[in-house]
Structure 1
Amino acid sequence: MYPSVREDPFQEYLVSPRHLAGSTAIGDPGLQPLRDLGWALHHDDLGNTYVSAPDHRIRLGYLPEGDDDGLWRISAYDDAFGSVRWAATFNDRTPTEFVTAFTTALAQAYTQGPDAYLHGATNKPVQAFTPLTAAGWQHDRRGWTDELTAPDSLARLTYEHLAPDHQSEIAGHHSRWWLRGGTGRRFPDWYATFTTHTPTQLITATTTAIADPTPVTRYASELSLLTRNHAQLAPIAPPIPTPLDVRRAQAARARTATTQRPGTAAPSPAPLSPTAAAGRRAR
């Protein structure tokens, strides 16, 4: 269904498949799993948000006022003052559910210790492929590259078996994992990247969220051209008032009509006695 241009911007729709849903207007869902662990949160003067783990070995930036379209940047460090071990990026159009899946898995891994969130297994790409292939994505192997393509050809995952140069990955020039969606192959609508040492379980959580057939909810104002043109949209009808809701509304209108007749002023309260007035001031 293609929504009307003049529709209510707060009309809600169920959107499927998820890789066509686009982002929501808020970052709270992606931040919440880490906030639930008590991670420190800071803001800058521009409105960007930064979250860091208690040991400062994981840092997240939610950057609506950043220098590019990398809205979410997550980095893990060998130690608080060490070099970056792995990094993940989600751009500003990535469906929020995918970011939330990643940060939820990251929060769980953090509670398990550095062996899980810093040095987790990175040599099991098939683990991340499985949710997608089970959902009908086509898997092609071309030389040293695996590419998985959604049934509608509007989302892809590329994995390179030969690891790129670490510094090039960390600088954002080239990543071993590249998830993206949209009609363009070179310039996708949304993308996510993961460097070589990103624990596979975190990437698997993301691909599991992508493969989930459950529709996601979006307001009409959040629907991108990609979503409107290619996704399946089902409007969510507003809740039907129950008989109790109707009676309450009628009673409220009756009270208003009784106490606020046109042309009459509301009655003034009776003046307090000196004793009562003194008691009120004392409270």
Structure 2
Amino acid sequence: MPPAPETVEVYFIAPRHLAGGGDPAWITVPLHRACGWSHGNDPLMPRVLLSSPDQKALLRLEPEPDGQWWTLSHAAEPDRPAWYASFGARTPVELIAAVTDTLTDPASTASTSSDPYEPLRQIGWSPYGDDGLVSPDKAAYVERLGTPGDPGAWFVTVTLGLHQKVWQARFGEHTPARLVTAFTAALADPAPVARTDSVHSLPTHDPNVVTRRTTDVLAVLVAGALEERVRTLAARHAVPPATPMPSAPPPVKNGRSR
């Protein structure tokens, strides 16, 4: 009798803003393999540096005990000053991936207009402060600091209680709104996120705060999820086959028919 297929215990966590960071490969591997971002080879340093094919964008992942672990920076362009986005260690990779996926999407353009608050309003987030929203569980806050005539940077902060900050995402004032909206849309998604290291990654195990559902999943499916993601993102850059030119109709003969 053949052995039973190997399975992996997978935790499905909700809300996703309290699901922990997850596997960084969910971001870095597709950027390299599907989007052509290059990386240096510095095995003695605990960091990852990925640069876009046009060398305008740089993603840095570097353990920083007192700061942001992820930093995405972009050089100035004719229509936009340089901008940045940064994310704390426990920012779920699914939210960061929403930003990098949108940045590398050939169909996404800098002229795309969007309101980062709209995905959150649609799921019942409430007004917070002068210009912000707070989640129904009061754990996540999104606000833009600045003045009506001079809007500033965006801040997304997740806390437990009054003083325990779980993670923070920051978007500079010149970050394209479509990228901030991609992040808030992923934040608003009610679907749980999968984790295989729930015991270590969750900022809290309080069942009144997070919902954790556990199930055994075939190991081959768990391993294949990242490969499928790479294939899906790579397909966006595939050049569609050229439409064949229609054949010319036969010339009309002059003269009368008999």
Is the pair's TM-score, using the shorter chain for normalization, greater than 0.5? yes
* Bigger radius of gyration: 1
**Runs of 5+ unmatched residues, structure 2:** 1-7, 219-258
- Aligned mates of 2:215, 2:157 — CA distance in 1: 28
Q: Which amino acid aligns with 1:132?
A: L
Instruction: Select the residue among 86, 89, 92 that pairs with 2:86.
Output: 89
Q: Does 1:196 align with 2:173?
A: yes
- Could you tell me which residue of structure 1 aligns to residue 241 of structure 2? none
Question: In the aligned structure 2, how far is the partner of 1:238 from the partner of 1:78?
Answer: 45
Q: Which runs of 4+ in 1 moved over 4 A?
A: 163-166, 184-187
Match of 1:63 in 2: 62
SS of the residue aligned with 1:136?
Answer: coil
**What is aligned with 2:247?**
none
**TM-score when normalising by structure 1:** 0.64
Q: 1:19 to 1:67 in 2, by over 3 A?
A: closer
Task: Using structure 2 for the length normalisation, give the TM-score.
Answer: 0.70
> Which of 24, 35, 38 in structure 1 is aligned with 2:36?
38
CA RMSD after TM alignment: 2.8
User: Could you tell me how far apart the structure 1 residues matched to 2:139 and 2:50 are?
Assistant: 32
Contact 1:87 1:195 in 2 (8 A): yes
Q: How does 1:1-283 map to 2 (within 5 A)?
A: 11-24=9-22, 26-35=23-32, 36-44=34-42, 45-64=44-63, 66=64, 68-78=66-76, 85-108=82-105, 111=106, 116=110, 120=111, 127-140=115-128, 142=129, 145-162=130-147, 176-184=153-161, 188-219=165-196, 220-228=198-206, 230-237=209-216
Q: Which amino acid aligns with 2:90?
A: R
Higher helix share: 1
Question: 1:76 & 1:163 partners in 2: Cα distance?
Answer: 25
1:237 is displaced (CA, Å) by 3.8
Q: Percent identity?
A: 29
**Cα distance between partner residues in 2 of 1:14 and 1:112:** 31
Structure 1 pair 132–225 and aligned structure 2 pair: CA distance change class (3 A): same
CA 1:227 to 1:164, structure 2 compared with 1: closer, same or farther past 3 Å? farther
User: In 2 relative to 1, CA 225–91 (structure 1 residues): closer, same or farther, beyond 3 Å?
Assistant: closer
Work out whether residues 166 and 203 of structure 2, in 8 Å CA contact, stay in contact via their aligned partners in 1. no
AA aligned opposite 1:51: L
SS in 2 for 1:188: strand
Q: More relative contact order in 1 or in 2 (CA 8 Å, sep 6+)? A: 2
8 Å Cα contact 2:20/2:203 also seen in 1: no
Distance in 1, Cα, partners of 2:90 & 2:155: 15
Q: Structure 1 pair 163/214, CA: closer, same or farther in 2 (3 Å)?
A: same
